[in-house]
Structure 1
Amino acid sequence: MKILYVTTISNTANAFLIPHIKMLINQGHQVDLAFNIAQEVDTEIFELGCKVHELEFERSPLNSQNYTAYKKLKKLIYSEKYDLIHTHTPVASACVRLASRKFKEVKVVYTAHGFHFFKGAPLINWLTYYLIERWLSRYTDLIITINKEDFLRAKTSFKARKIEYIPGVGIDTNKYNSVTVNKHEKLREIGIPNDAFIILSVGELNNNKNHATILRAITKLNNPNIYYVVCGKGPLENYLRDLTNKLGINNQVKLLGYRTDIAEICNIADIFAFPSKREGLGLAALEAMASGLPLITSNVHGIVDYSIDGKTGYTCSSADVEGFSKAIKKLVEEPETCLRMGKENLESVKKFGLNNVLKILERVYNESIFKQG
């Protein structure tokens, strides 16, 4: 088959999709890609023999560039005669399904990395994203969801020919559970004492990731030995720095910005905090599990697929500062509980590992797409 993978921006393909593409190429398929080149394309994509088409997608659905990208996509589908388009991310996926409507011979697969409508989501999300996704589902041969809440909703409400659940895009668990690091040197590099208790968060500094809740939770404990390390950059950086100063915990908080050594930093941390308001799944938390860290998380959306209160760590409402504070205190005071939960996570995360995900994806392709092709 001649296959086109489409995402809104190149970052998604670079970060998640190369193993999927490699699997298809090894089966004898040709795979090309189309996206907005926001980040330099990983050289492995070209080494695999893939053609890359640049389309001017923008993350904002209302940006006029998306219409330009849609028109170019339509021409691309016609000229290249693709048999299958596998699309990821909401904007690109809306354009793909609209562009493919008249190409009856082209099969369309859509991986939803987390619907914007879920239990507890704002009403406006249901009035916009839900209605659009439901309408577009009729132009989709296969919808793949990566969490169980989305799967059940799609199964009961959408009109796609087939709907499947796959536990994420696959993480390389070996990368995290086999890393070695000189803890003393790493702590000195970051500026943290050797005997500190370290809470780690990884993710963009935005409203959804909700780092402020952890800052407030730490403040309640009045324990100068607790340090909060945050890896990521984003629009709320100045706000979080100001809040840290206002709360009087600036000596205990390290905003490290973008890092390429997350596996090593996981290795020196004691627990992982993931208080997001919404997550399709949450790759950063799964990576922390693969590092053997206990979790403290919010209890929403895809997070509940792996974060089990009292087993993998502790869960709270995303706004429950008191709940997060108590969870941190418990783990600080009970190192044996940290150890037990960390061991549990090393086992639990295997379901989300790359080998398992690729096995399921291969089966889904074969049963839902290729056997009809």
Structure 2
Amino acid sequence: MKILFVATLSNTVNSFLVPHIKLLIRKGHNVDVAFNKKRQPSQELLDLGCRIFEVEFQRSPLKKKNIHAYKRIKKIITNEKYDLVHTHTPIASLITRYACKNIGGLKVLYTAHGFHFLKGSSIKNWLIYYPMEKIAAKWTDGLITINNEDYFRANNSIRLRKPNSSSVFKTNGIGLNLSKFSPTSAEKKINLRRKYKYSESDFILVYVAELNSNKHQDLLLDSLSLLKNKIPNLKLLLVGEGKLESLYKERVNNLGLSSNVDFLGFRTDIPDLLKLADVGVASSKREGLPVNVMEVMATGLPLVVTNTRGHNDLVVNEENGYLINGNDTNGFASAVYKLYSNEDLRRKLGEKSIKKVEEYSEENVLEQLDGIYSLYI
């Protein structure tokens, strides 16, 4: 069969979807890919021999370029006569599902990597994204969710699934390659710290995420300002790029945290950066099912995270980490200090993380996806 994968940006495919494409190719299907090339396609994707179509999808639904993106994806789907289109990310998925409507014999799957409307999100998000998903549901043969809140909402709302259809599914995320992330010994951790010029006595927090308002790194910076005089050699590694980088750097200077925060930018050595850390942190306002948290869990670290959808699928409070409500800077700082003060607690919570993340392995997710695909191809 001919299958097209669609995402707003190439980054999504490069980072998360190549194993899914491999699964389909192993089954004998031909798979093409369409996205906006923010970054070049990964070599692994190129080696699979997929044809790649560039479509200038925009992340904002209000951008005029999305009109051109619609015309482009419509032409591709019409000319290539696909049997199945599997679309990811909200804007590309809305445009693509609209382009697919009324094409006979074509099946459409949509993976929601986290609805932009969720419990506690802004009225603006509900006004924009809920109607969008409600309208597009009637052009969707199967909806795949990756967290409990989205699955419950979609499965219990006829408006978020195709009328007279029960085709709402849930997978354990997009699958984590556990061979890339694993705990390390105390000796290797010390060696890694020497390599990266950190001290054995540093207490290191790590957050791998784009520097933007949703990832909410300012909560971490404000928490650090409460801890810098309580925890000697406290360090926060912010791994990622983003439009708020200069603003966050200014905030670091204003809070007197220049010696406590390292902005590491885009990195390809994430496994090593996690292994040298003591605690994983995450301050997002909204998540689907965050891979960065899974990576921390597989490395055997305890976590301090905001209590939001996606985080609370992965972190059980006081079992493998701590869930902190909203903008509770004091609560975040208190949880970090509790872990700093008790090495045995860090070890116990980290062990629970390792056990729990096995549910989200690439092997388990590919098996779940294979079962879903079998219903449509």
TM-score bin, normalised by smaller chain: over 0.9
Q: For the Cα contact (< 8 Å) 1:293–1:338, is it kept in 2?
A: yes
* Paired position in structure 2 for 1:12: 12
SS at match of 2:154: helix
Alpha-carbon offset, residue 25 of structure 1: 0.8
The residue aligned with 1:279 is: 287
1:225 to 210, 216, 233: 233
Partner of 1:321: 329
What SS does the aligned partner of 1:230 have?
A: strand
Moved more, 51-60 or 189-198: 189-198
**Alpha-carbon separation, structure 1, partners of 2:52 and 2:101:** 23
Query: What's the counterpart of residue 242 of structure 2?
Result: 234
Determine the C-alpha separation between the residues in 1 that align with 2:189 and 2:347. Answer: 18
Cα separation, 1, equivalents of 2:144 and 2:45: 23
Q: Within 1, Cα distance between the matches of 2:48 and 2:25?
A: 8
Instruction: Tell me the residue number matched to 1:345.
Output: 353
The equivalent of 2:67 in structure 1 is 67
Deviation, 1:179, is 6.4
CA displacement at 1:189 relative to structure 2: 4.8
Distance 1:189 1:267 in 2: 12
2:174 aligns to what? 169
Question: Corresponding residue for 2:209?
Answer: 203
Query: How far 1:333 moved relative to its partner?
Result: 0.6
Aligned length: 369
1:236-263 deviation line (CA, Å, top 9, x unaligned): 1122222112222211111111111110
**Contact 1:276–1:318 (8 Å) recurs in 2:** no
Quote the Cα distance in structure 2 between the aligned partners of 1:102 and 1:331. 56
Question: Once the 2 structures are TM-superposed, how far is the Cα of residue 191 of structure 1 from its aligned partner?
Answer: 4.0
After TM superposition, the structure 1 stretch with the greater mean CA deviation from structure 2, 242-251 or 84-93, is 242-251
Which residue of structure 1 aligns with residue 303 of structure 2?
295
Percent identity between matched residues is 41
Show the 5 A alignment for 1:44-193. Answer: 44-157=44-157, 158-160=160-162, 161=165, 162-177=167-182, 182-193=188-199
Q: Secondary structure of 2:259's partner? A: helix
* CA 1:16–1:24: 2 relative to 1, 3 Å: same
* Amino acid in the other structure paired with 1:173: L
Q: Does 1:264 align with 2:264?
A: no
Q: Which residue of 1 aligns with 2:36?
A: 36
Alpha carbons 1:179, 1:263 under 8 Å: kept: no
Residue-by-residue CA offset, 1:233-292 (whole Å, 9 max, x unaligned): 111112222211222221111111111111001101000001111111111011000000
What SS does the aligned partner of 1:174 have? coil
CA distance in 2, matches of 1:89, 1:179: 34
SS in 2 for 1:198: strand
Cα distance in 1 for partners of 2:119, 2:147 equals 13
Aligned partners of 1:224 and 1:252 also within 8 Å: no
- Letter of the structure 1 residue corresponding to residue 298 of structure 2: A
> What is the alpha-carbon root mean square deviation over aligned residues?
1.5
Deviation at 1:174, TM superposition (A): 1.6
The AA in structure 1 aligned to 2:199 is P
3-state secondary structure, aligned to 2:85: strand
Alignment-mate amino acid for residue 206 of structure 1: N
The whole-number CA distance in structure 2 between the counterparts of 1:69 and 1:231 is 31
Q: Which moved more, 1:289-298 or 1:5-14?
A: 5-14
Q: Would the aligned equivalents of 2:161 and 2:168 in 1 still touch at CA under 8 Å?
A: no
Q: Is the 8 A contact 1:296 1:324 kept in 2?
A: yes
SS at 2:156 equivalent = helix
The one-letter code of the counterpart of 2:77 is I
Gap regions ≥5 residues in structure 1: none
In the alignment, does 2:371 pair up with 1:369?
no
Native 8 Å contact 1:244 1:253 kept in 2: yes
SS across alignment from 1:173: coil
1:357 aligns with 2:362: no
Alpha-carbon distance, 1:225 to partner: 2.3
Q: Distance in 1 between matches of 2:301 and 2:340?
A: 13
